[in-house]
A and B are shown apart, each in its own frame.
Chain A
Amino acid sequence: MKIAVMSCIHGNLAALEAVLKDIEEHSCEQIYCLGDLVGYGPFPNEVVNTIRQLKIPTVQGCWDEDIVEGLNACECSYPSLLAEKRGILAHEWTNNQITPENRQYLSQLPETLKIGNICFVHGSPQSNHEYLLAEMDAFTALERVLASEADVLFCGHTHIPYVRTLDSGQLEVKVSQPDSENNQFLSFTTPLKRIINVGSVGEPRHGRPNATYVIYDTFTEEFELREVAYNYQETCAAIIDVGLPPIFAWRLAKGLEYAEKAEDPTHICER
């Protein structure tokens, strides 16, 4: 079965519509969404309405969670004072715009979805705030996939697409017991695992404004990273029209993302 997986739409309706059109042209049988439907962009309700109308299975992103539960992260979520101020501003604007029905919809989104040997998460199986970066060490990356009990882990959140194959991992664990001087070594191998980060539809961070998503064939295990050009100027104009900071429009046009990722991307806020 050919599926399309997308993430991080961030209220960018023009980008979402372009991706949906591209998905249709590639005859995908099912679409999955990895969350962050809202935040920073000017069309949060329109994006949520579209996802709801199309009944696209969706997991909850960190922005979706924050709109439901309120901003409760410490400053660790932001790499700088400037990013924090901009993030709070975007949160407050989105919070004022979102309808009660859409807030309710966001609140009931699951944190993970599992279809056969495929798992869908926003950040990682442990938290929708955790970044699974392409350069993450192999042991941790493998641990995250194993935690999902899947062979293929789809994620987003970093806004930079990548595919990482963890080939037949050899794991060795040393077990130390306090009352024994003998350490026990356990060794086992894992089957091939794969992490597929689908990038971002509405807030790219790869240096171009184009939307990204992934087409995956569940039978052949072939994947295709898709990059879709769209009329981003339309979204930029809307950002300014609705009163969001003009710098968001400039950053979108440059493919820079509205805010940088946290300084320590593996840190998970425990608040």
Chain B
Amino acid sequence: MITAISGLPGTGKTHWIREQIAKKSEPVTYFSPQTESFPIDRICLQSEFPDLSILSVGEEEKLFNLAQTNAVYIELPWYLNLAAIDPLLTQLNCYRVALISSTEHKSEWQNWADEMILTHPIEGNKIIEAFKNNQLQIHRGNLTGEVLDFNSLQTFWLELTQGAYGEVVRVKGIFDILDGQYIYGEFIENLTQKDFQPLKFPLCLNGRPTRFSGIEIVGTNLNKQAIADTLGDFCLSDAEVSYYQQQVKQSLSDL
């Protein structure tokens, strides 16, 4: 079966898919259009489910055949034009799931969804209002190749999520940090915040990482220049990257 999942930012689309995958005994395929250049959710799922197969844009025709043997999940980001992708979903005979964060806007999804699921009851009005008024901004910072100072990242994260650079409703990011770890962080307004989580990928200890890293911020009145400048303030130099990598290698060899 092919399941298409949609919902506003922070409603828990990836989390819901993760729960479904954990229950499946058959192989699972994941596809998320318009996220290829910024695959945060995909990398998180791959960290937890290394056998997950991923489809890329242009491989949509494979979906129908895969659905004979695999459970297929299509995650539709909130900024995707649902009308534009509707023909494909119809052609694939997808089961459509809408994740909603409050009961107040069920009507928005009634014509689209086969099933509506109320996830965490966050105060969604602010997001919904901003979304309706086209005020929600998205800022993406691609940090691939950069290694970050973790203490600085924590300071920046606190400032960002408490409103220093605009009103933020959702943040997610994947970062390479100075001890070689590959970590994931997320923020959803009005929800208890979690610590950064290490992803289950090898440490990067040989030069600059080539794997994806980046941050995606959703909110209003975002000061994108200040965000970019501050991030730039704690990217390590080549010499610093090399120094820390040597330190970690040394400590690992001492074990």
Binding site for B on A (CB under 8 A): 79-83, 85, 246-247, 250-251, 254, 260, 263
Contacts and interface: CB of A to CB of B under 8 A. Distances in A.
Given A81-B234, A81-B236, A83-B151, 14 more contacts: A80-B149, A80-B151, A80-B154, A80-B155, A81-B149, A81-B151, A82-B151, A82-B156, A82-B230, A83-B152, A83-B155, A85-B234, A247-B226, A250-B159
A79 B158 CA distance: 15
Which A-B residue pairs are the 6 nearest by beta carbons?
Answer: A80-B151, A82-B152, A80-B152, A81-B149, A81-B234, A250-B164
Contacts of A85: 233-234
State which size class the interface on B falls in: 10 to 19
A82 B162 contact: no
A82 B155 CA distance: 8
A82 B234 contact: yes
A4 B9 CA distance: 52
Contacts of A247: 159, 164, 226, 230
Interface in B128-168: 149, 151-152, 154-156, 159, 162, 164
Interface in B221-237: 226, 230, 233-234, 236
8 contacts: A80-B149, A80-B234, A81-B151, A81-B234, A82-B233, A83-B152, A251-B159, A254-B162
A260 B151 CA distance: 10
A80 B148 CA distance: 11
A236 B154 CA distance: 23
Contacts of A263: 151
* Interface SS majority for chain B: helix
Contacts of A254: 162
Interface of B: 149, 151-152, 154-156, 159, 162, 164, 226, 230, 233-234, 236
A210 to B, nearest CB: 18
Contacts of A83: 151-152, 155
Given A247-B164, A250-B164, A79 B230 contact: no
Given A85-B233, A246-B226, A250-B159, A79 B151 contact: yes
A223 B103 CA distance: 54
A234 to B, nearest CB: 20
Contact of B149 (A82, A246, A250): A82
A17 to B, nearest CB: 27
Which of A79, A82, A254 has the largest count of B CB atoms less than 10 A from its CB? A82
Contacts of B226: 246-247
A81 B233 contact: yes
Nearest to B237: A81
Contacts of A246: 226
Contacts of B162: 254
Nearest to B162: A254
Contacts of B156: 82
A264 to B, nearest CB: 12
Nearest to B151: A80
A251 B159 CA distance: 8
Nearest to A253: B164
